[in-house]
Amino acid sequence: MSDSGRGSYYWCLRHHRVETEADKCPAKFVLGPYPSTADAQSALERVQERNEAWEAEDARWAGEDR
């Protein structure tokens, strides 16, 4: 997919691909919207980074060291 034109891009958890508004799966299967295909393609990496940061923050709040 190209970034030509304006639109929203989604990462489909079911098909493991970028989808557009025109061809996206139901909301329960997608992450997004993202402004570009590159952003949609890296969605799972961002999810992993955020989860790690939140887990570290939770550990700090609980008084645990990580």
| Residue 12, amino acid | C
- Residue-wise pLDDT tens digits, 4-46: 556 699 999 999 999 999 999 999 999 999 999 999 999 999 9
pLDDT band at 3 (very low <50, low <70, confident <90, very high): low
For the cut 80, the answer to whether the pLDDT of residue 1 exceeds it is: no
Q: What is the pTM of this model?
A: 0.73
Asked if 32 and 19 count as a contact pair (C-beta separation under 8 A), the reply is no
pLDDT band at 2 (very low <50, low <70, confident <90, very high): low
CA–CA separation, 19 vs 25, rounded Å?
8
Per domain, the residue ranges of the chain are 9-62
